[in-house]
A and B are shown apart, each in its own frame.
Chain A
Amino acid sequence: MKNKKTKIIIMSGYGLNCEEETKFAFDWAGGDADIVHINDLISKPKILSQYQILVFPGGFSYGDDTGSGKAFANKFKNHLSKELREFLKRDTLVAGICNGFQIVTNLGILPGGLTFNKHGKYIDRWVDLQVPSPAKGRAGRGLSPWLTGIKKLSVPIAHGEGHYVISKKDYIKMQKNGEIAFVYEKGEICKFQNLEKNPNGSDYDIAGILAYNGRVLGMMPHPERAMFAHQSPIWFMNKKLYFAKATKDEGQGLQIFKNAVNYFSAKGGSASGGK
């Protein structure tokens, strides 16, 4: 049987704005991504069943009015609650990146919430992420298809409301279940530019989280803005000893997209998924 490509649906509309580069990353990783306006999905909600991965990309849906991600999540909930439940019942993946993460927490399928950065200002810079080791006796991150083979990752953030808030009780539970996807750490980039590790003041340094057995990922940093090697601030230092041959290597962020696509293509899964 011929392997069909993994089908990805990327939401757009009302001020989401990272859909094109997110599509590029999924397509480059071997997937087949469609950008679908939320109103088109509302008018044909059944099409969601054709996809294996649902992505809420970054952006500024509704200009962050009334709180980031809230209004878009309201619209999604108002019209597509049933379809979302059905989608999550299947063996599917969901990702929310940046504004998408804010949307997904407002949808209620990821715990916690996001609020204003500790310095109060929008900030665009690179950060270093670490995938925490799983708690003892738990399979932990091994469960998340998104994170296969990833231990560290340097990627940029760009947000005004990226401070992740979670109660201590929930945090301990998440930690136990291996549901912390990424924490900020002082790694390669922070050392290079002498930057603080956690720029937004996130509780417990959390940059990304998981739910639904690791199938749903939410993260503030933008892996699609780190899919090319040249996007890294260190690239100009490392241009192979000054231009031996300019590298066109993949950036570290691409692995996340590859992982998701490969999760299905490894199974030889068809578009209708879990059957």
Chain B
Amino acid sequence: MISRVYVKQKNEASSVDSYLITHNFSREKMVKIAKALTNPTIEEFSINKFPKTNKFSYAIEIGFKPGVTDNVGHTVDETISDLFHISASKNNPDFAVYSSKIYLVSGVKNLNEIEKLALSLHNPLIERSYIASSADIKKNGLLLRASEVILGKHTPVIEVPLSKADTEELINIGKAGVMNEDGSRRGPLALDLVSMEAIQTYFRGLEREPTDIELESLAQTWSEHCKHTIFANPIDDIKDGLYKTYIKGAANLIRKKRGKKDFCVSVFSDNSGGIVFDNDYLITHKVETHNSPSALDPFGGAITGIVGVNRDTIGFGMGAKPVANVYGFCLGNPEDEIKYFKDPPSPEGFGRAGNNLRQPMLLPKRIMEGVIKGINVGGNCSGIPTLNGFIKFDDRYRAKPLVFAGTAGLIPRIVNGKPSHLKKAKAGDYIVMVGGRVGLDGIHGATFSSVVMDSNSPATAVQIGDPITQKKLSDAIVKEARDLGLYNSITDNGAGGLSCSVAEMARDMRLPAGRHGGAEVDLEKVPLKYPGLRPWEIWISESQERMTLSVPKSKWKAFQKLMERRGVEAAVIGKFTNSGKCVVKYKNKKIMDLDMEFLRLPKQQLYTKKPPLPPLSGGRNSPPLIRGGREGLNFTKSLEKLLSQKNISGFSFISQQYDHEVQASSVLKPLSGRGRINTDTQVFRPILKSDKGVVLTSSTYPSYGDISAYNMSACAIDTAVRNTISAGGTLSHLAILDNFCWCSSNDPKRLYQLTEAVKACCDTAVGFGTPFISGKDSMFNDFKGYDENGKPIEISVPPTILISAISVMPDFNKTISPEFKNAGDIIYLLGETHDELGGGEYLKNIHPAKGTPQEGNVPKVDVKKNIKTYLALEKAIQKELAASAISVNSGGLGIALAKASVGGMIGCDVSIKNIKGTAKSVVSKLFSESQGRILVSVSPKNARAFEKIMEKISYAKLGKVTNGDKFIITDKTKVIDTSVKKLHKIYHKFSNSMK
């Protein structure tokens, strides 16, 4: 039987919640269920009868497509099974629940319009809509249609005829996937010809054909996404590859130099990087990207991004507790409404219906709303404070947005008498899968994000996170099972699913010399969301909220019992062996048998090509094309306009919808001061009994890369370091993380830029003594599609490097916030200002006619000079001499002054006449983005002591914080004269328009 329970708010009727239930319950039981779903004070229910509502013309029902995670449905399922003390529907064929929402629309009579509205309410990739007129509903009620998954019957395992395949066929298999029995292809393996040939040779040696699961498995573990082939391969004369030579190389060099003072504990070897917090704890950090999925389903992409990186914390060492989330969005401009499609126009012609069939790409505004909401639900539901974040706009992020998600974690250094960051499975341990079940969601996620997005991008690559399932899992592991010593090793099921997690754990096993780790898996033991999945699908599915653990046989019972009591599903799916082989069986038949050694990837030589000058270079010697604007420009108007730019102004509408105070740890929050400005840096206290604080920040300057990838990279590191110090962080206890988001990475010119950026990472990090502890890359952020008229379009993101920083400060009480505090405080600018407007916000937004962003000097980093400045400021802050400090970033000194004033809602009167450095023009002095500068305010009584500390560095005394509303900047004459209230309004305008 199918019944529908409707629940709606008593007074309001713009929407109705619907729960479709297939069941054999009595009417009486159905009423009981409906009552449990209704809060009688504010809601009312009806069963099978459309509720009484105000007049409406149409109802739009939005439900999930079959197989898409239905979190609300799961909760109702649990409520019902708990109510009647029966087992949940996943183990009980007697009932199932499907949730949906019904929107009531009045005043719209035109079916076209209502269809358009329906499309704005749902994402056809994962949801379905059903439209009914009110007359229709009166007559027939709403459809009773369960969103059940019914999979076609397939042969479980097929052999792929590889031994005789020619080059063309090998390329075909690599690009479009294994051929099904019906001749269709299964979707990209993202294996190039060299890899396919290596596989062919391997199986020729074995004198057999590979099975589909073997091929899919190799594609997963060899994918760019999992193996980071571009960073690992030799490139030009860099034999060990970029990662080993420059990133890991820098970390090793720094650690060696530090000797006993090395604070790194686990670097690039685990799911997150780990550094010392204090004698008892480690703090971890990891930042991920989830770009391709977010382009297709922004909400699902972002939520799986954030809960996915949470698992990189839970999967660090023996399991760290997530204590802070960070995020970053690089998006197209929300006002851009140009339509793009993945497919060319169909021969049937143009028009609305035709266009819908062409896989339209989502508009930037829709993507923005979706990704913001994804981080909201993922972070808020998990009880992890969301602290650091940023949002950047550029038309080139229009098709593939960049969505960064990161998590810091905390773990005792010693767990059960052993260092917590070390873990190894033992031969004979059970392979245990814990958490969510496996479905078709996320098939080919790893290989999909390794290729260009075009019409072949599979829809099943989209997943929806279920933060509550993961919260239960996380609590059960890091708050209980870990400290009971119930497992030997743990890792996350992320990209590649079981195929990657099991192979990884087997590779890292603890074994006697000469033995090699292996695994034997029985795939039919993996709990499934619905029947009918083929073995290769189970093996590589990226269904969310799952961890893989190695549990000693003797601990299994206790582990199983604990998980059961916490409402967490756990299943033994095989065991670890010392055979050196990865063996997978399905219903007692061996379907995969690969040498663990072969799962490692063969290397390929890569080459770069220096692009022509400019626009892709610049460097230190390029001519200063921009010497600043004409004197006599209206600088006040320029400043106000610059402050209103979305890349500079506030985004409190995002910060305040993210819970940043849970865990009671926040010290310096995302919004600060009377004027609620966004802080660049946040401070929190992960252990409420300790005075130690953790400092988080991040930095990216994509537009600098248009001129020089080297300087883009160097500036991002300098800014991350500077932001950290400005809030009170410690240079000698500061680690950084890299995220490279590149485009067209098979183009030697892009590889040249990459090499430059990576070299800068090494030079700058070594210079500052700030080691990389973790990193991630996403190398193909390109879109190939069509515009409305069928013209082919290619959009690639600008090569983007995000640097995140984490630092430990000895006493959080010494944290300082960026806004001005009291009238009379003296304002100083530390550092030097040069003619470095190139790639900056001023040239991009105010003066594009006179100089394109590609012209002019891009900011450069003088590490030696800047270190001195930063150490001096660190000392002054430790001595509690500074009242405020704000890092001078995008928009330069003018913007830093405006933000500090708006934050404090207090005026200032400063002169830029005598600032240090080579900048001569007013424009350069105000808006150049020279690195190494910090704007500090100091109480007059501390001025002398402060100046003493600054004696040996370049600094200038600019003026004073002033009572009242006036915001005055003078050079030779008054150049800016405006009011703080006006600036406040401008600063918050974008954010207020988004509320």
Interface residues of A (CB under 8 A from B): 12-15, 17-18, 20-21, 24-25, 37, 39-40, 43, 58-60, 62-67, 70-71, 74-75, 78-79, 105-106, 111-115, 119, 121-125, 156, 158, 160, 165-166, 192-194, 222, 224-225, 227-228, 230-231, 233, 236-237, 239, 241-243, 246-248
Contacts and interface: CB of A to CB of B under 8 A. Distances in A.
Contacts of A43: 565
Nearest to A21: B664
A60 B72 contact: no
B82 A74 contact: yes
11 contacts: A17-B382, A39-B565, A63-B467, A65-B74, A79-B82, A106-B39, A119-B995, A124-B659, A158-B659, A160-B380, A246-B813
A105 B40 CA distance: 10
A111 B814 CA distance: 45
A158 B661 contact: yes
B201 interface: no
A39 B657 contact: no
Interface string B1-20: 00000010100000001010
B880 A242 contact: yes
Most B CB within 10 A of own CB, among A21, A75, A124, A165: A124
Given A111-B41, A243-B814, A13 B567 contact: yes
A222 B583 CA distance: 52
B41 A60 contact: no
Contact of B83 (A15, A17, A74): A74
Contacts of A241: 939
Given A17-B471, A20-B663, A165-B42, A59 B383 contact: yes
A242 B376 CA distance: 35
Contacts of B78: 62, 71
B395 interface: no
A224 B664 contact: yes
Contacts of A160: 380
A241 B675 CA distance: 20
A244 B681 CA distance: 24
B468 A233 contact: no
Contact of B76 (A58, A66, A111, A228): A66
B674 A78 contact: no
A236 B468 contact: no
B346 to A, nearest CB: 39
A66 B79 CA distance: 10
A124 B661 contact: yes
Contact of B664 (A24, A66, A125, A194): A24
B381 A60 contact: yes
B83 A237 contact: no
Given A115-B42, A125-B656, A242-B942, A227 B664 contact: yes
A129 to B, nearest CB: 16
A166 B11 CA distance: 12
For A17, A39, A40, the residue with the greatest tally of chain B CB atoms inside 10 Å of its CB is A17
Contacts of A158: 380, 659, 661-662
Nearest to B39: A113
Contacts of B467: 15, 60, 63
Interface in B52-95: 71-72, 74-76, 78-79, 82-83
A81 B156 CA distance: 49
A165 to B, nearest CB: 5
Given A14-B472, A18-B662, A156-B661, A236 B567 contact: no
Interface stretch (B516-524, B640-648, B665-673): B665-673
Interface of B: 7, 9, 17, 19, 36-37, 39, 41-43, 71-72, 74-76, 78-79, 82-83, 99, 376-377, 380-383, 466-468, 471-472, 475, 565-567, 656-664, 666-669, 672-676, 688, 811-817, 819, 821, 880-881, 883, 939, 942, 995
A88 B676 CA distance: 43
A121 B816 CA distance: 30
A195 B226 CA distance: 47
Contacts of A14: 468, 472, 567
A76 to B, nearest CB: 10
A166 B376 CA distance: 28
A43 B564 CA distance: 12
B41 A113 contact: yes
A79 B657 CA distance: 35
Given A71-B78, A165-B41, 11 more contacts: A15-B381, A15-B467, A63-B381, A65-B74, A67-B7, A71-B75, A74-B83, A125-B656, A156-B661, A193-B675, A193-B676
Contact of A74 (B17, B36, B475): B36
A123 B664 contact: no
For A40, A66, A166, the residue with the greatest tally of chain B CB atoms inside 10 Å of its CB is A66
Contacts of B939: 241-242
B75 A236 contact: no
B468 A243 contact: no
Given A71-B79, A111-B41, A124-B661, A40 B565 contact: yes
A243 B475 CA distance: 38
Contacts of A228: 664
Nearest to A57: B383
A194 B992 CA distance: 14
Contacts of A37: 565-566
B75 A62 contact: yes
B167 to A, nearest CB: 51
Contacts of B881: 243
Specify which of A125, A225, A236, A247 lies most central, judged by the most chain B CB atoms within 10 Å of its CB. A236
A199 to B, nearest CB: 9
Contact of A70 (B37, B377, B659): B37
A193 B677 CA distance: 11
Contact of B567 (A39, A121, A239): A39
B672 A15 contact: no
Nearest to B661: A225
Contacts of A166: 41
B376 to A, nearest CB: 6
A237 B79 contact: no
A10 B41 CA distance: 26
A233 B376 contact: no
B463 to A, nearest CB: 16
B674 A248 contact: no
Given A62-B468, A227-B664, A192 B41 contact: no
A13 B72 contact: no
B381 A66 contact: no
A13 B880 contact: no
Contacts of A105: 39, 41
B656 A236 contact: no
Contacts of B815: 236
- What are the 9 closest A-B residue pairs judged by CB atoms, nearest first? A17-B383, A243-B880, A246-B813, A113-B41, A65-B75, A21-B664, A113-B42, A236-B817, A60-B381
A194 to B, nearest CB: 7
B321 to A, nearest CB: 9
Contacts of A64: 381
A65 B656 contact: no
Contacts of A20: 663
B828 to A, nearest CB: 15
A103 B19 CA distance: 21
Nearest to A157: B661
Contacts of A231: 661, 664, 666
Contacts of A193: 674-676
Nearest to B877: A243
A125 B668 CA distance: 14
A74 B660 contact: no
A23 to B, nearest CB: 10
Given A125-B656, A158-B659, A236-B821, A112 B472 contact: no
B674 A194 contact: yes
Nearest to A58: B662
B370 to A, nearest CB: 14
B661 A236 contact: no
Given A60-B381, A70-B37, A15 B472 contact: yes
Given A17-B382, A63-B381, A66-B17, A236 B79 contact: no
